[in-house]
Structure 1
Amino acid sequence: MILDENNCPKGWILSKVSDVLDVNIHMLTSQTDGNLPFKYVSIECVEEGKINFEKVIETSFTEAPGRARRILADGDLMFSTVRPNLKSFVRFKKPDNGLWIGSTGFAVAKAKTGNDSDFFFYQLLSSIGEKQFHSLVVGSNYPAINESDFKKLKVLVPPEEEQIAISSILKVVDDAIKAIENTIKSALKLKKSLMQNLLTGKLKPDGTWRSEDEFYKDEKFGDLPLGWVVKKGSNITDKITKGQSPKWQGFEYQTSGVLFVTSENVLDGVIDISSPKYLPIEFNDKIKNSQLQKGDILINIVGASIGRCAVYNLEMEFANTNQAVCVFRLNDKNDHNFIAYFIQLEHTQRRLLGNSVETARANLSLGDFRKFKFVLPEDKDEQILIANKINEIDEIYISKHQKVKTLQRLKKSLMQNLLTGKMRVDIAKLESALQLEIC
């Protein structure tokens, strides 16, 4: 949307940030008592629209960085003016009655009388703000904007009542996302505990704890449950391989064909093909060794996501992978879900990554997996029972994660339409429709 007076929705006006927000009003001065204690919020403290309070430091005026100057009050809007395209923006909720100070790398703002802070927070977070921030920093050696630039940013200003109605609707979505994310955190915490106890045999699949006399002593791994064994990767698999680069073979991506799974698609426990890549069927015919089958465990073996793994269970006729992903195909005596969970276990990851080669990009070899030792029940049925218990939590996580994605798409659509005035409907009807969408 082009921001000009001729393009304003009916009843709205085009204005500047300085007309609707007070910016950087309260500051510590050079005359401040050096012993004044406070909590300091730097730009690094803001992560994904939230303040990571573990990164907040308690300091004093003398000991604090020179950028510690902005006095923060409950409800302030904090906009990072350093690399604003990264959107380190947050609404400050003061957690206690102490003095809180922000970095001068933030523009700290609050709505003037007759305006709603939250409305303008959302608007500057939307494409309206994004495009203006980009135009100010593009091509700059130091991607930052100054206070004057920030105050000159253009905003669309509806009547206060409409501002409040729109921001209230967006907050309903934000609150719903936050509630689901808290459920996800609880599910992940429970999953971690279950994995630690089930995959080491301390806890039986029926929920009872093993007694001391149900363990035996292994020379390397210590106490192991009776009926559990230690086996090398080569002894529990039919195939350990990896794919090849399509470009090396003369192939280019296309809009359909053979699904091509790369390390970007292999997340923790999930194969994500929300942005799929495809190759010609000829690639699959040529590179037969890494053709994927349902039940294959895919493990990232190169780069930042090294060690990440998931079971390939997609209903695709043809699929293949590249050289950054290990295809770990089990024999019929072992369960792929159990082994995948075992690989995800923190202790396993530490052992596995201890084998990684420290080059420009850390990497694991296929040989590492062939000789890697797995601790597992010899009975496949017990493996399945254990995996099923963990999978129950995984299903909750996946369901909630999808719900968050749906709500995020809804929020993006609402921001695009409500904050620009494209959607001008009865607020009561809109809120009713929104409740149906969230429930």
Structure 2
Amino acid sequence: MNSINEKIPFLRVLPDGWKTHRLKEISKVNLSNVDKKSHDGEKVVKLCNYVDVYYNHTISDKIDFMIATASDEQIRKLTLKKDDVILTKDSESPSDIGIPTWVKEDMPEVVCGYHLALIRPNVNVVTGLYLYYLLYSYGFKEHFWISAKGVTRFGISKGDIQNIQLLIPPIELQNKITRYLKEKDLLIDKLIKKKENLIMLLQQQRQSIITEAVTKGLNPNVKMKDSGVEWIGEIPEHWKVKKIKHFATHVGSGKTPSGGSEVYLDEGVPFLRSLNVHFDGIRLKDLAFISEDTNAEMKSSQVQPLDILLNITGASIGRTAIVPKDFGRANVNQHVCIIRLNQKKMYPYYFNMLMASDVIHQQIWFAQNGSSREGLNFVQVKELKFAMPPTIEEQREINDWVFNKLKTIYDVMSKIKEQIEKLKEYRQALIYEAVTGKIDVRDMELDEVR
């Protein structure tokens, strides 16, 4: 080991034979400007977009890429080649910036998409796979988080990426390190996959319990009747099929303030977006704020206690949450619909549970419109049908029973998610130890992992 290395702050010593380089000295970096829209006069391409990078350690032809268009210049600069590394460079959360993936093979029909940086290494100095592991490790990720600029939308510049200092061993040792890490990765991924499958089964069980309760009630001996609606089936004889519009005193959404995210503040009136609305409640991570004046201008979308919030666009369409009684003031953007109920006829907590059932989600699935972005309009929301217990007392009884039933499931799911996070942390720690020379793999017997 050489003396303390000041170029890479989180590394105390430089292993013998290893060298430091700025990324720009050993690779070429291009920021993508290819969006998801198709433009006349451009060529049709497959698009490797943000989620493809975020959710995959490796980019290969197994991914179902979306179709878009690109110019000749974009195709020339941004077509994927073997050993490219792609990095997320923009996000609503700093922790989602600097997520890398490795391109496994030449992909002549696939172009790197918007909000991403395409890094093409000089493979005589650093292999793509080693560079991927290096950028994935502790220290480098933190560098990108610290470099990120923004208030509610964060990004890193080309300079932030190009000027990062890297620790590079000889190629032969890089290959040994990547074989070692691939072996460990395979074992960790198998464990994570098993736990994710268990969470999926628990989610299905949760969905089944909710759907059964909001269509059959709690009394197994009650007389049943045909609801007249195929996706609802038989319901208790004293229940009725209703629509949201029969109980809602308000259905509507907000809008993006003039100036968009540029007018968001560090404090003020909470501005809820679809990323804040989850089945387990309103999440305050990455919460945006707006001014008092903007909130006053958007009076119709100010939330009230026990409002039901429904995501009406994007990948999270159909996700709902109830506004707690003590939540305080807030507003919503155009991607979140407020459903305000007549609480003398509908128990809000029951309705919030009902909105998470298959009865509602099947209708949302069929009602979605738009070719490239899912969406619901207010008329469709008002027309959603469901079976209705006639009294607040019965609604409350069903809700309380389901809540107690699901508590154990949520507790188990929470523990499994913690285990998955610990495995991911272990993976990162292992990578860090390997790419900083703290784990010596030179004399290890390693298999070739493909």
Q: TM-score per shorter chain, which class?
A: 0.5 to 0.7
Aligned to 1:34: none
In structure 2, do the counterparts of structure 1 residues 362 and 84 end up closer, same or farther at CA, with 3 Å as the change threshold? closer
Asked if 1 retains the 8 angstrom alpha-carbon contact of 2:134 and 2:432, the reply is no
Distance 2:132 2:313 in 1: 40
Closer, same or farther: CA 398–320 of 1 in aligned 2, 3 Å: farther
TM-superposition CA deviations, 1:4-62 (whole Å, max 9, x none): 9xx7825554179xxxxxxxxxxxxxxxxxxxxxxxxxx99x9634999x989xxxxxx
Pair 197,276 (structure 1): closer, same or farther in 2 beyond 3 Å: same
Residue 379 of structure 2 aligns with which residue?
367
Report the alpha carbon displacement of residue 258 of structure 1 after superposing the two structures with TM.
Answer: 1.3
CA 1:237/1:401 → structure 2, altered by over 3 Å: closer, same or farther? farther
- TM-superposed CA distance for 1:340, in Å, is 3.0
One of 14, 19, 40 as aligned partner of 2:18 = 14
Distance change in 2, residues 1:2/1:240 (3 Å): farther
- After superposition, what is the alpha-carbon deviation per residue over 1:151-197, rounded to whole angstroms, capped at 9, x for unaligned? xx96448x99xx89x97999998787556534423321322332343
| Structure number, greater radius of gyration | 1
- SS of 2:321's equivalent in the other structure is strand
Please name the residue that 2:56 is paired with: 48
Q: 1 CA distance for matches of 2:381 and 2:58?
A: 39
Question: Would the aligned equivalents of 2:255 and 2:333 in 1 still touch at CA under 8 Å?
Answer: yes
- 1:191 lines up with 2:195 in the alignment: no
- Of residues 309-318 and 260-269 in structure 1, the stretch that sits farther from structure 2 once superposed is 309-318
Counterpart AA for 1:397:
M
Is 1:229 paired with 2:240?
yes
1:69-108 equivalences in 2 (<5 Å): 81=83, 84-85=86-87, 87-88=100-101
- Secondary structure, in 3 states, of the residue corresponding to 1:293? coil
Cα separation, partners in 2 of 1:315 and 1:381, compared to 1, 3 Å: closer
Q: What secondary structure does 2:276 align onto?
A: coil
- What's the offset of the Cα at 1:331? 2.8
Q: Would you say 1:380 and 2:395 are equivalent positions?
A: yes
Structure 1 position 127, deviation (Å):
6.8
1:297 is matched with which residue: 308, 320, 323? 308
TM-score, scaled relative to structure 2? 0.55
Query: Alignment identity in percent?
Result: 21
How far 1:321 sits from its partner (Å)?
0.4
State the distance in 1 between where 2:209 and 2:420 align: 24
Relative to structure 2, which stretch is displaced further, 400-409 or 342-351?
Answer: 400-409
TM-score for the superposition, normalised by structure 1: 0.56
Instruction: In structure 2, list runs of 5 or more residues that go unmatched.
Output: 21-47, 65-80, 89-99, 108-128, 144-156, 159-165, 440-450
Structure-1 separation of matches of 2:327 and 2:424:
27
Alignment-mate amino acid for residue 210 of structure 2: M
Alignment check: 8 A CA contact 1:253 1:278 kept: yes
TM-superposed CA distance for 1:216, in Å, is 1.0
- What do residues 55-98 of structure 1 show as CA deviations (whole Å, max 9, x unaligned)? 89xxxxxxxxxxxxxxxxxxxxxx963554485569xxxxxxxx
Contact 1:300/1:306 (CA < 8 Å) preserved in 2? yes
Partner of 2:93: none
Aligned residues: 324
Which residue of structure 2 lines up, in the alignment, with residue 282 of structure 1? Answer: 293
Which one of 333, 340, 360 corresponds to residue 329 of structure 1?
340
Q: CA RMSD in A?
A: 5.1
Q: 1:223 to 1:155 in 2, by over 3 A?
A: same
Shift of residue 396, structure 1, vs aligned partner: 3.7
2:388 & 2:84 partners in 1: Cα distance?
A: 50
- Structure 2 letter corresponding to 1:193: S
Amino acid corresponding to residue 409 of structure 2 in structure 1: I
The 3 A distance-change label for structure 1 pair 290 and 386 is farther
Q: Secondary structure at the match of 1:219?
A: coil
**CA positional deviation for 1:364:** 1.9
Segments of 5+ residues of structure 1 without an aligned counterpart are: 17-42, 57-78, 91-101, 106-117, 132-137, 140-152, 426-439
Alignment partner for residue 253 of structure 1, among 252, 264, 287? 264
- Are 1:219 and 2:228 counterparts? yes
Counterpart secondary structure, 2:226 = strand
Name the amino acid aligned to 1:198: A
Match of 1:375, SS? strand
